[in-house]
Structures are given as C-alpha cells and as structure tokens.
Amino acid sequence: MKRKPRSVEPQREIAINLYRSVWEVRNDGWIHLSDEANRLADAAAEGGDLELARGRVAETLDLLEPIESYWAFPGRHGFLRLLALFQDREYADFNDLVHRISRALSSQSYRKSFVSLHLDEEAAVEEEERRETEVRVDRPYFELLIVDDLSAQEEETLRKRLRSMRRDEDKFIYEIVVVPSFQDALIAVLFNFNLQACVIRYGFPLKSRYRLDILHQLLENYEEEGLESLPESERGCLLGTKIAQLRPELDLYMVTDVSAEDIAGKLCENFHRVFYREEDDRELHFSILQAIEERYQTPFFTALRVYSQQPTGVFHALPISRGKSILQSHWIQDMIQFYGLGVFLAETSATSGGLDSLLEPIGPIKVAQELAARAFGAKRTFWVTNGTSTANKIVVQALIQPGDIVLLDRNCHKSHHYGMVLAGANVVYLDAYPLNEYSMYGAVPIRSIKQRLLELRRAGKLDRVKLVLLTNCTFDGIVYDVERVMEECLAIKPDLIFLWDEAWFAFAGFHPTYRRRTGMGAAARLRERFRDPDFRRRYAEFKEQFGNPEDDRHWLDTRLVPDPERARVRVYVTHSTHKTLTALRQGSMIHVYDQDFKQKVEEAFHEAYMTHTSTSPNYQILASLDVGRRQVELEGYELVQKQVDHAMALRERIATHALLKKYFRFLATGDLIPKEYRPSGIEAYFNSEQRWARMEECWHSDEFVYGIQINKTSRNTVLFMTNIGTTRSSVAYLIEILVKIAQELDVRNEDMSPPEMRLHRFKVDSLTKQLPALPDFSHFHRFFRCGTDSTTPEGDMRKAYFMAYDETVCRYITMPELQRQVAAKREVVSAMFVIPYPPGFPILVPGQVISKEILAFIEALDTREIHGYRPELGFRVFTDEAIGAVEPDSAGGAPAARIAAAPAV
Ligand SMILES: Cc1ncc(COP(=O)(O)O)c(C=O)c1O
C-alpha cells in the first residue's frame, strides 16, 4: 500500500540551532507559555486585555509547535489538543493543560508514569489508556522514531498497535514519534535525545515543512548529492547512512512495502533488520527491545553484582573483601557507614575465582571491552586502571623499539616523555605555536609535522620514523583536524602510526560535531575513504599533477593526498574516561584502530600491557568503566550536548553582562587560534547578532578549533570545565560568584588611593601585557644526538636520563651562574626534566641544551612550583667532562676518553 504524500506547504525557517540548544529553547518556551497561559486565563476571567494576552500565547505556541513535532510527549496529538483549546477560546482548560504538560516535562515524570492529556469528560478513555501504560513504572523509557508520511489517524492507530505489544516482562518501555520526511527524520535525530531506535518505512518525501539553519552544514550538503532525483525506494537506505553518521548508537530498522528479501540483500550495514509491512509488528517490537538490551547490558558490572551477592568465605589476600575486616572492627565502622556495604561485597580479585582477569580476559571483562570498542568506534579496546599516564606508556612501549624515531608534541603530558625514556625512542620534539599573551601553547601546525618528516626523509631516516604523537584536545581545549594530519603524513610515510592522547576528549565520540575530530572517528573515515573508488581517482589526479617534486616547499604548500593502495590506517587513542565520563578515578581506556595490529603489534602490546598493569587491578574501577560505557551509548548525545550548552550559556552570560564584561573576558577562537590556521575567518563562536550560528563552520574547515575545556589557570587566565555532570544551577552559581567578585573589584577600585591605583595598574599590566615569550624546544646536545654527524634533531633521551643516575657526571648550577655561562655561549646540558606548574610542560628534558630564551622564561615565571629545580642547589646539569662540552681547556684531558667513561645505557 503506497500512501499519498501530504500536500506540500512552504518551508518554515526555525531560527534556532544546536548551539544554544533547542532543548533550552524548549524548556524556556514551556515556562514562558505557562506564564502567558496564566495571564490569558486571568484576562478572560477578570476582563483584562485579552487580545494582547492571546497574541503572546500565540507567539510562544508558534515557537514550540515545530519543536514539539519531534517528541513523543506531549506529542502531535497532545499539542493539537492544546491548539484546539486555544482556538476554541477555552482558556481555563487551556491553562490547565499547559501546566500539566509543563510540569511533566520539567520533572520528566512522563518517562515514569502516564500523564493524562484528557479533560474530565474523557475520563473513561483516559482510564483505558492508563491501564495500558501503567506497567512503565521503573523501566527505562525511550522514544522510537518512525519515518512515514502518516495522517494523524493513521499515526494514532500505529501507536495503539505498538502499545498493545507491551508485556509485563519487557525491560524497557517506549513511545513513538512519527515524522513524515527525510529532513524531518534528521532534525528529529538531532533534537530528540530520547530517541534510541528508528524505523524507516518505505517511501517518504524529502523535504520538511521546517527549515533548520544548521542542517545543511551538518549533512555536508547532502542536497547536492542528487537526493532530489533519488527514487523514494532508495531514500531509506541513504537516510540510514546519514542517521548513522549523526548518531551511530541508534538502532535502525526498515519496514518495506516491496519484497523484504530484495531490500535485505541491498541494505547497508547500518540496519539491524528489514521487515515486510506490518505483518511482523510483534517481531519488530521484540527486536527493538533486544537491541536496546545489547547496549544496556554491562557484563562485568553484572557479574560483579552477582558475585557480591553470593555467600563466600574469603581465604585469600584480601581482608577487606565482603567488608569482613571492617565489620569486625571496633574502630573503623564509619568506613562502612560512609561507603555502604556494596562496595566491599564487590571487592574481589581474579584469583578468588568466578570473575574474569584483566590480564588475560576470557569472560565478562573481554565482552565488556568489546562493547566499549563498539561504543567508541574502535576495533579493540583495553581497559587501564592506572589512568592515561599508564595507558600512554603501554601504547608507546608496544609500538616503539629502541632507536625508533618518534615525533612528539613537546607540550604533551609527562607520561609521554617518560614513555620515550622507557622505550628508548629517538625523539624529535615538535613545537606548538605559542600564545605568549596568555602564557600557554596552542597545537602543532601540520606544516611543522610535515617539515620534520621531510627532513628525516632527506636524511634517509624515514624508515625509522614510527610514530606521531599528539594531544587532542590540548589541555586548553584546542582540537586538531585529525583526519587531515593523518592524511598528509601518510602521503609522506604510508605506514606511519598515530597516537592521539585524548585524555580530555572521551566524551567527543558521542556528538556529531566533535566525533569528526577524534582519532577513532577519523580512522574509520580514512579506512572507508581508502577503499572508495572516487578517492582512488582523486589520488590518481593528484599524483599526476603533483608528481614527486624535489623541493620540500611544494610538499609543504600542497594539501597532500595519500596513496590508498599503500596507506595503512594505524591509529591509537588513549582516554582518561574518568576525566570526562562516568568512571572512577584512574579508569582509562586504550582504543585501537590498527589494520596491522594482529600481524605486527599484538604480541608486543600484550607484553607492554603486562609490564604496566597491576596484578591486583581494582574491580570497582573496571565496573565503573563498564557502566560508563552503557551510559554514553544510551545518553551520551544528550549529556554532551547539554555540557556544551552550559559552557555556551556561561560564555553568553559573561559576554552580555554589563558588570561581568568589565572584568572578565572569555577567550574566543580568535584569541587561541592564529589567523593562518583559521580559514573560516571566524573570531568567536558567539556574537550578539549571529549568536552561535558559526561554530559548525569552524569545526568543518579550520586547521584547529577550540573546544570547551575548562579547569586550569595560566598566568592570566582561568579555565573552567563543564562536564556531563554540570547542571544549569551550577552554571548559575558560577555566574553569581563571578558577579560577586566583579562587585568586590568595583568597590575596591573605588576605594583605592592614587598611589594604590598606580600600583594596581602596574600589576595588571605586568600580568596582561608584559608576558615572557614561551620558549621553543632548543636542541639535544650532540652527545645525545643519534649519530655524530646527524643533520636531523632526534635525541636519545633515555641515554641522558640514565646517565644522570651517576653522581660523578652531574653537578648543580645556580641560576645566576647558569645565566652567566649561557650568556658566555657555553653549552650547559640539563640532566633532568624541568617542569614548571603552570604551564606544566617540560621546559627542559634530559640531554637538552639550555638556551637563553628558556632562562628568560623561567626567570619571568612567577610560579613557585618547578619540578626538577631545587632552589637551594639550582639545576642539575651534566659536567662538561662527561659530555664533551666546549672549553676543552678547563675540562682537562681528552673529551673522547670521558665520553667512553660515561655509563653505557
Ligand atoms: C593530555 C594528558 N594526557 C594524559 C594525562 C594523564 O591522565 P591520567 O590522569 O588519567 O593518568 C593527562 C592528565 O592530566 C593529560 O592532561
């Protein structure tokens, strides 16, 4: 049966976009409507200005109508009922219904119990519906999207039919949202975070009645793909692909009017199943619930809970297990009172039997890690219980042999520098662009990475270059164009491996804007691209035009295209799951998307994992990783979007608040990303005219973008980080505190005497204008360079690190003496990592020559915490004799002999 499309109406623009989210517009819209409905009811009862009140209500209804067409509650029929009351001028009933809906929405009670939208005289129908739906109590609720061009009557029949399938034993409960077109389906997928599954029925029109400003950006100009001319029968499949790109976690089904067998043969991998018309409604219902269960299951958490409920005697080395050592104690009862017994009942280890082992998983841990891999878009995932500090060392040790060259972001987390020492890598440090005004670094430009690779190629060392290691996003929220970096590097070295330290970015995989710029998201896209015939053609054209030019400048100035026949996708990502998602402290993950893992890495990875993993990992941390994965697979999209909303709201408030903007300014993309890396030309995601509309554009085109990442200070900035636990109240609280600070500053400034004011201005100037230039990495001393005639900069940090264990080859030097020697052009070489906090990156690593820029920076820093520097002694450096520094006269004897005397490491 082919349904007739509805009559085509002109498209209506919805003037909202995802940034300053539709959800807040919706929340605020209902609050506003409640107020206006009250006023209208009062005006009607007491004879006020009815037309004015009506006008205001009509305006809000107009705003809410398109939004509500994408949600199951109050749903299309509920909203129509509201409109009918308004049109019939039944203002008291209208007011009553608006309040009922608004309350149910704000308390989210519609998820837990039946909310009647009927008026009194319809009580009988209501009773019947209530009986049907009462069973929802205590079951997780979700919404099912149905894409089909149905009349209101047909929609109601379908809703009833699906409700009639409910059984007492169903674990979840759902309501339906019906949308009529391709575009509406996409809008619904973006708007409605309650959606968990989508049924695409055969044949539906393309266009929505509404036009959403961000849609065309998010969908990469899909209209130009010839969608208009695509037969209706093929739209379903394409819609499935598009939905999977936006929200890959959704379960997709197709119900078709043509031969289901035929369609099933052609269906893309995104669909769970295909059904023929309505004949299989029950089967569809079961499939939907079953697929939700697949995401809901938490194999390890469940196993641990079952274990904790079994009566067992504990005869292994874990006295706290089952709370025994506490329950019997006279002195530490408060520990149970605080934590509850559950956590101790679940304290166990692999050796006690019954549960899986993290070191050799074959049971629930193995399955749970596989589920995590699915959720984060990896081929395989490994859990780590000692944070990303350990995760990073595992990956580096697994991939690097002594003597391999690694290109490493100098401002990366210290675990990488130590990882290099442990693995014996030859390190080429990459410099990020400096942001001197804020005493922080940006990210490493693609041009510098290419330049280093080309230098190494010229020196005949490309075969030794194994890994590029970058931080995405940086501590300050700067995010790479991950796909471009990998593409261009692979064009120079096709088997290069990438480690993206995404310690702060675990949340990013659950939102379409961010996912594009994650290591796993980009790896999947590259893999697909290298198989795509269009890309092969593009490469052939590129090769023809570009050739193999001698001059490096051509390589640097051209956007390089890798050879899809030779390029391998070899990507590793580390996540501090505990930093941005629900997980106990130290819960981290390693995600692997490496085509050559089985062949080249598996054994070494296993050994590296064994090297760094405790034989007594904490099972509570593991269980939290399992549950955290369930959460993001079911509500990650909602949580991440809300987290972004909160950060945006904070920025908007500060940018528009008269007092706050006097003292505080949010750094915008223009402050943190220099023009040359911002082809979009956009300076700030928010401005008062265009509001948030341009953020998508930056995320599409700029070499670096600025994420919302907040929790540290630099000399003159403070970083606040919103996360998936942030609420509107906490944002309001922060604003309140900022206002108080601003008020205090106002009062203090007014009370200052002229000399005090001069001093104050001087201090402010020093903090905001006279900032020390951030130093680049200088170079490794030739003693620690790899090969005496090396023309490339790689250094053997491990040699320097272990050599510093020998007291006889090291000495301490005070700052004034060091300054004097460096000014006299003497080579002084650090024996230690020297790391000031903030900014928290090593300004010196073992084997590095100390430059005057570095000393100027240290001197200008007003931080007291400098790891690796002892104020009473100074800096630990190598003696001239040990490394053959200049001034052979004062060193005495032949340097070569002393070099040989240095410990061989
Ligand atoms: C970029 C980066 N990588 C790794 C880590 C280490 O992570 P964890 O605290 O999980 O050990 C941090 C910690 O701050 C970090 O900022």
pLDDT, tens digit (0-9, with 9 covering 90-100), for 408-459: 999 999 999 999 999 999 999 999 999 888 888 899 999 999 999 999 999 9
413 in ligand 1 pocket by Cβ < 6 Å? yes
Identify the residue with better confidence: 268 or 199. 199
Among 329-343, 560-574, 889-903, the range scoring the smallest mean pLDDT is 889-903
How far, in Å, is the centroid of ligand 1 from the Cα of 483?
23
- Average of per-residue pLDDT values in the chain: 86
pLDDT in tens, 624-635: 999 999 999 999
Q: Is 152 left (phi over 0), alpha (psi -120 to 50) or beta?
A: alpha
Most confident of 63-67, 705-709, 847-851: 847-851
pLDDT value, residue 5: 43
Strands 440-441 and 434-435, by their bridges, are: antiparallel
385 in ligand 1 pocket by Cβ < 6 Å? no
Among 1-10, 473-482, 754-763, 800-809, the range scoring the smallest mean pLDDT is 1-10
CA–CA separation, 598 vs 586, rounded Å?
27
Contacts of 187 (CB under 8 A, 6+ apart): 70, 179, 208, 210, 212, 215
**Token pair listed for 489:** 């590097």
Residue 694 confidence class, pLDDT cut points 50, 70, 90: low
Residue 478 dihedral angles phi and psi, to the nearest 5°: -90, 130
Kindly tell me if the per-residue pLDDT of 498 is higher than 70. yes
How far, in Å, is the centroid of ligand 1 from the Cα of 359?
22
Among 155-169, 557-571, 620-634, 886-900, the range scoring the smallest mean pLDDT is 886-900
Residue the block writes with tokens 């310690």: 503
17 in ligand 1 pocket by Cβ < 6 Å? no
The percentage of the chain sitting over the pLDDT mark of 70, rounded to a whole number, equals 86
Kindly tell me if the per-residue pLDDT of 585 is higher than 70. yes
Q: What average pLDDT does range 205-226 have in this prediction?
A: 62
Q: Which of 383, 412, 413, 440 to mutate to test the pocket of ligand 1 (most atoms within 8 A of CB)?
A: 413
Is the separation of the CB atoms in 252 and 265 below 8 Å?
Answer: no
Residue 689 confidence class, pLDDT cut points 50, 70, 90: low
Kindly tell me if the per-residue pLDDT of 836 is higher than 90. no
501 in ligand 1 pocket by Cβ < 6 Å? yes
726 in ligand 1 pocket by Cβ < 6 Å? no
pLDDT value, residue 4: 44
How far, in Å, is the centroid of ligand 1 from the Cα of 416?
10
Q: What average pLDDT does range 601-611 have in this prediction?
A: 97
321 in ligand 1 pocket by Cβ < 6 Å? no
Kindly tell me if the per-residue pLDDT of 168 is higher than 90. no
Residue 839 confidence class, pLDDT cut points 50, 70, 90: low
pLDDT value, residue 121: 61
Identify the residue with better confidence: 177 or 840. 177
472 in ligand 1 pocket by Cβ < 6 Å? no
Q: With 0-12 CB in 10 A as exposed, 13-18 as middle and 19+ as buried, what is 27?
A: middle
Question: How many CA atoms does the CB half-sphere of 78 hold within 13 Å?
Answer: 22
717 in ligand 1 pocket by Cβ < 6 Å? no
State which ligand 1 atom lies nearest to the alpha carbon of 576: 10
How far, in Å, is the centroid of ligand 1 from the Cα of 842?
15
Q: With 0-12 CB in 10 A as exposed, 13-18 as middle and 19+ as buried, what is 885?
A: buried
DSSP states of 772-790: PPPPPP--B-GGGBSSTT-
**Token pair listed for 446:** 């693609």
Residue 858 confidence class, pLDDT cut points 50, 70, 90: confident
387 in ligand 1 pocket by Cβ < 6 Å? yes
Kindly tell me if the per-residue pLDDT of 532 is higher than 90. yes
How far, in Å, is the centroid of ligand 1 from the Cα of 802?
24
pLDDT value, residue 274: 83
580 in ligand 1 pocket by Cβ < 6 Å? no
Among 219-223, 775-779, 847-851, the range scoring the smallest mean pLDDT is 219-223
pLDDT in tens, 54-99: 999 999 998 898 889 999 999 988 899 999 999 999 999 999 999 9
Kindly tell me if the per-residue pLDDT of 11 is higher than 70. no
Identify the residue with better confidence: 398 or 257. 398
CA–CA separation, 736 vs 742, rounded Å?
10
How far, in Å, is the centroid of ligand 1 from the Cα of 710?
14
Among 101-105, 309-313, 559-563, the range scoring the smallest mean pLDDT is 309-313
Angle formed by the axes of helices 619-656 and 299-309, to 10°?
Answer: 130
**Token pair listed for 842:** 């090593």
CA–CA separation, 215 vs 232, rounded Å?
21
* Element housing 519 (H / E): helix 519-531
Residue 404 dihedral angles phi and psi, to the nearest 5°: -70, 150
State which ligand 1 atom lies nearest to the alpha carbon of 390: 11
475 in ligand 1 pocket by Cβ < 6 Å? yes
441 in ligand 1 pocket by Cβ < 6 Å? no
509 in ligand 1 pocket by Cβ < 6 Å? no
The percentage of the chain sitting over the pLDDT mark of 90, rounded to a whole number, equals 53
Identify the residue with better confidence: 272 or 381. 381
Residue 112 confidence class, pLDDT cut points 50, 70, 90: confident
Q: Is 881 helix (H, G, I), strand (E, B) or coil?
A: helix
Residue the block writes with tokens 């890495």: 601
pLDDT value, residue 24: 81
State which ligand 1 atom lies nearest to the alpha carbon of 391: 11
